[in-house]
Amino acid sequence: MNKTVLITGATSGIGLACARKFAENGDRLILSGRKENLLSDIRSELTAKGTEVLTLTFDVRDRDKAKQCIQALPGEWQEIDVLVNNAGLALGLEPEYEGSFEDWETMIDTNIKGLLTMTRLVVPGMVERNRGHIINIGSVAGDAAYANGNVYCATKSAVKTISDGLRIDVAHTAIRVTNLKPGLVETNFSNTRFHGDTERAANVYKGIKPLTGDDIADVAVYAANAPAHVQIAEVLILATHQGSGSVIVRSKE
């Protein structure tokens, strides 16, 4: 059965890869993001291949706009089967005592509060219908802090705890909750973290073959299509030469 899948942060990286993979799976998509032009391009790309796509332009940090967009969904789009809480980012890589207040607030408001906003807006309908799936994009960073990762790691630890708590809260229903925890994924993640410093971002992936957005999207689609009695609660996905959030073995070539 084809599903209606809502993906936040769908204009790049893991979110865009999820959009393409769920489209290949035959699902129809509600794609949200901050940049209307990028959403329009993605909608054109996917509709040309036969996928039904609805786009919503808002920042998950803007609770009022998010609420307005979800409540204004056309009737045929209101029954959301899968919510992919993907919108998130890392900013800065400094010791906690040298961190940027602005960077901290952006990460907390996006990675934690934005995820909670979308969950609060979408999940009640799932509970009422007694079906649905929430897929949260966490991180290996949520398992243990690494040097200079402090607040970002804290936000992804919160994603794990929020996912676990939601899974308990909906255990009386047929709703499933999945927390995906990627390691090194080569997207625009590091470029964003380093505020556009492309050279510094490239060094993050030097000497190792990192994961791609497609690798994470493959797992998301697999989890969403597991048999109804199977709940893929949590998946840690690492590059082959990554042992943990802080242990990465790089080639010397």
Q: Give me the active site residues, please.
A: 152
Beta bridge partners of 56: 32
Residue 83: count other Cβ atoms within 10 Å of its Cβ.
Answer: 26
Backbone angles phi, psi at 133, to 5 degrees: -150, 130
Question: Do 91 and 100 meet the contact criterion of CB atoms below 8 Å apart?
Answer: yes
DSSP class of 34: S
Interhelix angle 13-24/213-224, rounded to 10 degrees, is 50
Compute the distance between CA of residue 214 and CA of residue 181 in angstroms, rounded to an integer.
14
Compute the distance between CA of residue 216 and CA of residue 235 in angstroms, rounded to an integer.
10
